[in-house]
Structure 1
Amino acid sequence: SKNDFCSGFLLWKNFSFDPSADEAIEKASDNRIATPQDSDSKPAVTKKRKQPTECFLSQPEEKQESTVKAKKRKKKKISDILEKSAPKPGVPADLQNLLSQHFGENRSVIEIEELKLSDSCFLPANDLTHSFSSYLKEICPKWAKLRKNHKEKKSVVMLVICSSALRSLELIKSMTAFKGDCRVLKLFAKHIKIKEQMSMLEKGVFHIGVGTPGRVKALVEQDGLCLNATKYMVLDWNWRDQKLRRMMDIPEIKKETIDLLEMSIIKLCREGSVKLGLF
């Protein structure tokens, strides 16, 4: 009938041309397409950021490890050289070069010339075949006469300079065959006050002084020890401690020894009244 036809036509028209339904379908399809793209893009960005940071952090760690290894290797090489190298006896040129290097940094040309030690200032050096007593007998054959003639207080005929109090005691024991009945004074700081040493020098006559450069220097500065009567100064040059260091390898001992030499010994050596020996 006509009424049924008209109602059916209206229903078909409303269903096929509903704009809201079409918009909903389009939005749903857009969301479905967009979500996988966003999920794919996020991990790609994070991967690109991780790669440079990992490379940047790993490089300095490798450099630090390599520098530490290089330092360790250098230390081992130094100790290996000292342990394996054949001992070379000290010669006057060693001390001469040491003094020129030390004074050359902050002294004028004229001052450096005045602080130079010529070969005539030195006694024969130890060739590593001597005991301490035999070396002293070689460099001082007229010791008995010098010992008898020495009667001045606050002075010694021979000064022996070494790196420590323990080494001083060892040298005092090893010079028994040489010293005879002469008096030996310990000139180091361990267990002995400087006032005690000054009073002993003032009251009695001593022939040999054995000690460290720091204490000898302090006694000279305080007028407790006079070097005008001194004829010989022996440096314990070749002996090495447990760390394979000679006395001039220890910075503090090296500085104090050079200061003592500069204070008055170099001048006395240049004048010819004192001779230097390297044991």
Structure 2
Amino acid sequence: MAKPQKHSKPQRSSKHPVKHGRDNLKPRTKSSNKGKKPNHKAPPELPPPPAVAPAPELLTTASQQLEFFIQQYQSANGIQLSSLELESFTNACIVKLSESLPQDVSNLSEHMKASFGSSWKEALCKKQLSGKNTEPGSPTLLTISLSALRSLELFRSLKPFTKECPAAKLFAKHLKIEDQVSCLKNHVNVACGTPSRIKKLIDMEALGLSRLSVVVLDMHTDVKGYSLFSIPQIRDEFWELYTTHFHQRLLSGSLRICLYGTIDANNFKRTKGRSDANE
């Protein structure tokens, strides 16, 4: 009896070999780099260290400060004073402050004591002046600042003068002008404010000038680099106030200007140089 034949497994064609393991995976397609330049850029160079700014040369003398004030006055108003007009300005127009005491907020009251001399208590502290009929709402000392916040800082620094006779806050932020008018119906020695509100109260005849002896111009520069003379709107408001109500009093000698704070003489010289070149 014949044995059944075994069927042999068909042999695979050698044309299509079987791949195992990783060899059986599809090859990854590479992204085309056609048209792209090879990235061989060098790392960016660090900028050179900033040049060390020269230490500010402060305007310390009365003549320097007066020259600075006149230069600002001419620049803001687009005028050039004649030699005869310039003679009307003297060093006596400027309050000379002590160089041994820093001109910061905490020292303002001490500087003002020195500027008023032996009469500082009567001028800055007394609620009523003996034997004198004074106009209500007419301060002896007026500080003018860039902003309400800065005015408030100066207001607080003058507390040694305001225990007996309160000072007046003459700025718009959070304060109604009607309340300020009511405050100025009383005797006032010290007032702190901003140019716009001060001028408005003077024009309303609420703020008097009959006793005004010193106007402190706050030269403080804020964190953004702005000052009383650098923001066009605030600067213009101040010079309008000055020309309308302070200029003639300054020239007559009944009023003095105090430039309080740091004034960079280097910046002043550059500004002055440009001004001289345009003459």
Structure with greater proportional helix content: 1
Partners of 2:208 and 2:144 lie apart in 1 by 16
2:106 maps to 1:134? no
Alignment match, 2:55: 86
Query: Which of 178, 195, 203 matches 1:221?
Result: 203
CA deviations 1:97-117 (Å, max 9, x no partner) are 1112334x357859x928963
Q: 1:18 is matched with which residue?
A: none
Aligned match of 2:120 in 121, 138, 143? Answer: 143
Partner of 1:101: 75
Find the counterpart in structure 2 of residue 261 from structure 1. 242
In 2, are the aligned partners of 1:156 and 1:206 still within 8 Å (CA)?
yes
How far 1:176 sits from its partner (Å)?
2.4
Counterparts of 1:174 and 1:228, CA distance in 2: 24
Looking at CA atoms only, which structure, 1 or 2, has the larger radius of gyration? 1
Q: Tell me if 1:152 matches 2:124.
A: no
TM-score (norm 2): 0.62
Q: What is the percent sequence identity of the aligned residues? A: 29
How many residues are paired up? 197
What does residue 258 of structure 2 align with?
277
Which segments of 5 or more consecutive residues in structure 1 lack a partner in the other structure? 1-79
The answer to whether the Cα contact below 8 Å between 1:121 and 1:275 also exists between their aligned partners in 2 is yes
Q: 1:157-195: CA deviations, max 9, x gaps?
A: 111001111111111122223555332000000011222
SS of residue paired to 1:140:
helix
Say which SS state the counterpart of residue 142 (structure 2) adopts.
Answer: strand
Could you tell me which residue of structure 1 aligns to residue 156 of structure 2?
173
Mapped partners of 1:175, 1:86: distance in 2: 30
Alpha-carbon shift at residue 256 of structure 1 (Å): 1.1
Q: Cα–Cα, structure 1 residues 92 and 179, in superposed 2: closer, same or farther, change >3 Å? A: farther
Distance (whole Å) between structure 1 residues aligned to residue 88 and residue 178 of structure 2: 34
| Matched residue type, 1:119 | N
Between the aligned partners of 2:68 and 2:173, the Cα distance in structure 1 is: 29
Q: Which runs of 5+ in 2 are unaligned?
A: 1-49, 60-64, 261-279
